[in-house]
Amino acid sequence: DAGVIQSPRHEVTEMGQEVTLRCKPISGHDYLFWYRQTMMRGLELLIYFNNNVPIDDSGMPEDRFSAKMPNASFSTLKIQPSEPRDSAVYFCASTSGESTEAFFGQGTRLTVV
Amino acid sequence: GEDVEQSLFLSVREGDSSVINCTYTDSSSTYLYWYKQEPGAGLQLLTYIFSNMDMKQDQRLTVLLNKKDKHLSLRIADTQTGDSAIYFCAERGGSSNTGKLIFGQGTTLQVKP
Protein backbone atom coordinates (compact mmCIF):
# COMPACT_ATOMS: atom_id res chain seq x y z
CA ASP A 1 0.00 0.00 0.00
CA ALA A 2 1.26 3.50 -0.81
CA GLY A 3 0.14 4.85 2.52
CA VAL A 4 -2.23 7.73 3.12
CA ILE A 5 -2.25 9.94 0.04
CA GLN A 6 -3.13 13.60 0.20
CA SER A 7 -3.50 16.07 -2.60
CA PRO A 8 -2.48 18.65 -3.41
CA ARG A 9 0.80 18.90 -1.47
CA HIS A 10 0.75 22.67 -1.72
CA GLU A 11 -2.10 25.04 -2.40
CA VAL A 12 -1.97 28.80 -2.70
CA THR A 13 -5.27 30.55 -3.12
CA GLU A 14 -6.79 33.97 -2.79
CA MET A 15 -9.02 34.94 0.06
CA GLY A 16 -12.63 34.13 -0.68
CA GLN A 17 -11.92 31.21 -2.97
CA GLU A 18 -13.10 27.69 -2.33
CA VAL A 19 -10.42 25.17 -1.40
CA THR A 20 -10.80 21.39 -1.51
CA LEU A 21 -8.28 19.10 0.10
CA ARG A 22 -8.32 15.40 -0.71
CA CYS A 23 -7.34 12.26 1.11
CA LYS A 24 -7.13 8.59 0.22
CA PRO A 25 -6.77 6.44 3.34
CA ILE A 26 -4.99 3.13 3.52
CA SER A 27 -7.14 0.35 2.15
CA GLY A 28 -8.99 -1.50 4.89
CA HIS A 29 -8.75 1.29 7.45
CA ASP A 30 -12.12 2.25 8.90
CA TYR A 31 -11.09 5.44 10.72
CA LEU A 32 -10.10 8.66 8.98
CA PHE A 33 -8.95 11.84 10.70
CA TRP A 34 -8.41 15.40 9.51
CA TYR A 35 -5.93 17.50 11.49
CA ARG A 36 -4.73 21.07 11.12
CA GLN A 37 -1.26 22.14 12.20
CA THR A 38 -0.24 25.74 12.89
CA MET A 39 2.60 27.26 14.87
CA MET A 40 0.20 28.90 17.27
CA ARG A 41 -2.22 26.04 17.96
CA GLY A 42 -0.18 22.94 17.24
CA LEU A 43 -1.98 19.88 15.88
CA GLU A 44 -5.75 20.16 16.14
CA LEU A 45 -8.21 17.40 15.37
CA LEU A 46 -10.87 18.85 13.08
CA ILE A 47 -13.09 15.86 12.39
CA TYR A 48 -12.95 12.11 12.20
CA PHE A 49 -14.95 9.40 10.47
CA ASN A 50 -15.63 5.78 11.28
CA ASN A 51 -16.92 3.61 8.45
CA ASN A 52 -17.48 6.76 6.39
CA VAL A 53 -19.71 8.33 9.04
CA PRO A 54 -18.62 11.55 10.78
CA ILE A 55 -18.26 10.76 14.48
CA ASP A 56 -16.94 13.97 15.96
CA ASP A 57 -16.75 17.29 14.14
CA SER A 58 -16.43 19.45 17.23
CA GLY A 59 -13.00 20.59 16.10
CA MET A 60 -14.24 22.10 12.85
CA PRO A 61 -13.60 25.80 13.42
CA GLU A 62 -16.50 27.35 11.52
CA ASP A 63 -19.31 26.67 9.10
CA ARG A 64 -16.91 27.57 6.32
CA PHE A 65 -15.32 24.16 6.89
CA SER A 66 -16.98 20.96 5.76
CA ALA A 67 -15.79 17.39 5.32
CA LYS A 68 -17.20 14.42 3.50
CA MET A 69 -16.38 10.79 3.08
CA PRO A 70 -18.50 9.45 0.23
CA ASN A 71 -16.80 6.05 0.31
CA ALA A 72 -14.15 4.10 2.19
CA SER A 73 -11.35 5.22 -0.09
CA PHE A 74 -11.86 8.96 -0.34
CA SER A 75 -12.45 12.01 1.82
CA THR A 76 -12.49 15.75 1.21
CA LEU A 77 -12.09 18.77 3.42
CA LYS A 78 -13.56 21.90 1.94
CA ILE A 79 -13.14 25.52 3.00
CA GLN A 80 -15.56 28.01 1.47
CA PRO A 81 -14.82 30.90 1.52
CA SER A 82 -11.18 30.65 2.52
CA GLU A 83 -9.50 33.26 4.72
CA PRO A 84 -5.82 34.04 5.43
CA ARG A 85 -6.14 32.61 8.94
CA ASP A 86 -6.91 29.22 7.41
CA SER A 87 -3.30 29.03 6.25
CA ALA A 88 -1.86 25.88 7.82
CA VAL A 89 -0.75 22.37 7.06
CA TYR A 90 -3.68 19.98 6.90
CA PHE A 91 -3.04 16.32 7.64
CA CYS A 92 -5.14 13.31 6.97
CA ALA A 93 -4.58 10.09 8.93
CA SER A 94 -6.16 6.65 8.91
CA THR A 95 -6.23 3.63 11.16
CA SER A 96 -8.32 0.60 11.94
CA GLY A 97 -9.93 -0.44 15.17
CA GLU A 98 -7.50 -3.34 15.47
CA SER A 99 -4.40 -1.34 14.63
CA THR A 100 -2.26 0.36 17.22
CA GLU A 101 -0.90 2.88 14.73
CA ALA A 102 -2.46 5.81 12.89
CA PHE A 103 -0.74 6.53 9.60
CA PHE A 104 -0.40 10.08 8.41
CA GLY A 105 -0.29 11.54 4.95
CA GLN A 106 2.38 14.01 3.95
CA GLY A 107 0.01 16.92 4.48
CA THR A 108 -1.29 19.76 2.35
CA ARG A 109 0.30 23.13 2.97
CA LEU A 110 -2.41 25.71 2.41
CA THR A 111 -1.60 29.38 1.98
CA VAL A 112 -4.45 31.85 1.65
CA VAL A 113 -3.36 35.28 0.51
CA GLY B 1 -12.57 16.58 27.86
CA GLU B 2 -9.35 14.98 26.77
CA ASP B 3 -6.22 17.07 26.93
CA VAL B 4 -2.55 16.32 26.30
CA GLU B 5 0.23 18.71 27.30
CA GLN B 6 3.92 18.85 26.58
CA SER B 7 6.74 21.29 27.10
CA LEU B 8 7.45 23.16 23.89
CA PHE B 9 11.21 23.04 23.59
CA LEU B 10 14.21 20.96 24.63
CA SER B 11 17.84 21.49 23.76
CA VAL B 12 20.55 18.88 24.36
CA ARG B 13 24.08 18.16 23.23
CA GLU B 14 24.88 15.34 20.88
CA GLY B 15 25.55 12.15 22.83
CA ASP B 16 23.46 13.20 25.84
CA SER B 17 20.13 11.65 26.74
CA SER B 18 16.93 13.53 25.96
CA VAL B 19 13.80 13.22 28.05
CA ILE B 20 10.54 14.57 26.68
CA ASN B 21 7.60 14.68 29.05
CA CYS B 22 3.87 14.59 28.50
CA THR B 23 0.78 14.68 30.70
CA TYR B 24 -2.73 13.63 29.75
CA THR B 25 -6.11 13.84 31.40
CA ASP B 26 -8.11 10.85 30.17
CA SER B 27 -7.51 8.02 32.61
CA SER B 28 -9.29 5.55 30.32
CA SER B 29 -6.84 5.94 27.43
CA THR B 30 -5.95 2.62 25.87
CA TYR B 31 -2.79 3.51 23.97
CA LEU B 32 -0.26 6.31 24.30
CA TYR B 33 2.00 7.24 21.44
CA TRP B 34 5.09 9.14 20.49
CA TYR B 35 5.24 10.52 16.98
CA LYS B 36 8.14 12.32 15.31
CA GLN B 37 7.83 15.07 12.73
CA GLU B 38 10.81 16.18 10.72
CA PRO B 39 10.73 19.56 8.93
CA GLY B 40 8.27 19.62 6.05
CA ALA B 41 7.15 16.05 6.64
CA GLY B 42 4.19 14.23 8.09
CA LEU B 43 4.06 12.50 11.45
CA GLN B 44 5.83 9.20 11.84
CA LEU B 45 5.07 6.78 14.66
CA LEU B 46 8.12 6.24 16.84
CA THR B 47 6.73 3.99 19.52
CA TYR B 48 3.64 3.36 21.59
CA ILE B 49 2.73 1.84 24.92
CA PHE B 50 -0.38 0.06 26.02
CA SER B 51 -1.98 1.55 29.09
CA ASN B 52 -1.43 -1.57 31.23
CA MET B 53 2.35 -1.32 30.79
CA ASP B 54 4.70 0.97 32.67
CA MET B 55 7.77 0.74 30.50
CA LYS B 56 8.73 -0.11 26.95
CA GLN B 57 12.20 -0.11 25.45
CA ASP B 58 12.98 -0.06 21.76
CA GLN B 59 16.67 0.40 20.90
CA ARG B 60 17.58 3.96 21.92
CA LEU B 61 14.02 4.79 22.96
CA THR B 62 12.54 4.18 26.39
CA VAL B 63 8.93 5.02 27.19
CA LEU B 64 7.85 5.33 30.79
CA LEU B 65 4.20 5.50 31.79
CA ASN B 66 2.97 6.56 35.22
CA LYS B 67 -0.72 5.87 34.95
CA LYS B 68 -1.48 7.15 38.44
CA ASP B 69 -0.06 10.57 37.61
CA LYS B 70 -1.08 10.37 33.93
CA HIS B 71 2.49 11.12 32.94
CA LEU B 72 4.31 9.76 29.91
CA SER B 73 7.94 10.28 29.00
CA LEU B 74 10.19 9.48 26.08
CA ARG B 75 13.88 9.03 26.69
CA ILE B 76 16.26 9.04 23.74
CA ALA B 77 19.68 7.66 24.62
CA ASP B 78 22.81 8.92 22.85
CA THR B 79 20.89 11.68 21.09
CA GLN B 80 22.09 12.39 17.56
CA THR B 81 21.69 15.47 15.36
CA GLY B 82 19.32 13.41 13.22
CA ASP B 83 16.98 13.23 16.20
CA SER B 84 16.29 16.96 15.88
CA ALA B 85 12.56 17.16 15.18
CA ILE B 86 9.20 17.84 16.80
CA TYR B 87 7.98 15.04 19.05
CA PHE B 88 4.28 14.61 19.68
CA CYS B 89 2.68 12.71 22.49
CA ALA B 90 -0.80 11.35 21.73
CA GLU B 91 -3.48 9.34 23.47
CA ARG B 92 -6.10 7.08 22.00
CA GLY B 93 -9.21 5.39 23.25
CA GLY B 94 -10.72 6.46 26.46
CA SER B 95 -14.27 7.27 27.25
CA SER B 96 -15.22 8.77 23.88
CA ASN B 97 -14.14 6.32 21.21
CA THR B 98 -11.37 3.84 20.56
CA GLY B 99 -10.30 5.53 17.35
CA LYS B 100 -9.88 9.14 18.36
CA LEU B 101 -6.31 10.39 18.66
CA ILE B 102 -5.57 13.51 20.70
CA PHE B 103 -2.15 15.11 20.32
CA GLY B 104 -0.11 17.38 22.51
CA GLN B 105 1.35 20.62 21.13
CA GLY B 106 4.65 18.96 20.29
CA THR B 107 8.12 19.35 21.78
CA THR B 108 10.82 20.72 19.52
CA LEU B 109 14.06 18.86 20.21
CA GLN B 110 17.20 20.70 19.24
CA VAL B 111 20.41 18.65 19.25
CA LYS B 112 23.60 20.66 19.29
CA PRO B 113 26.78 19.10 17.89
Q: What tens digit of pLDDT does each residue of A48-107 get? A: 999 999 998 999 988 999 999 999 999 999 999 999 999 999 999 998 877 778 889 999
Is B43 in a helix, a strand, or coil?
A: strand
Note whether B42 contacts A: Cβ–Cβ < 8 A: yes
Mutate to test the interface with A, among B33, B53, B56, B100 (most CBs of A within 10 A): B100
What residues contact B16, with CB distance under 8 A and at least 6 apart?
Answer: B79
Q: For residue A113, which of A39, A10, A35, A22 has the smallest C-alpha distance?
A: A10
What residues contact B1, with CB distance under 8 A and at least 6 apart?
Answer: B25
Is A84 in a helix, a strand, or coil?
A: helix
Alpha helices in chain B (DSSP H): none
Q: Residue B109 above 70 pLDDT?
A: yes
Q: What tens digit of pLDDT does each residue of B39-96 get? A: 888 899 999 998 888 999 999 999 999 999 999 999 999 999 999 999 999 988 655 4
Stretch (H or E) spanning A5: strand A5-7
Mutate to test the interface with A, among B35, B101, B102 (most CBs of A within 10 A): B101
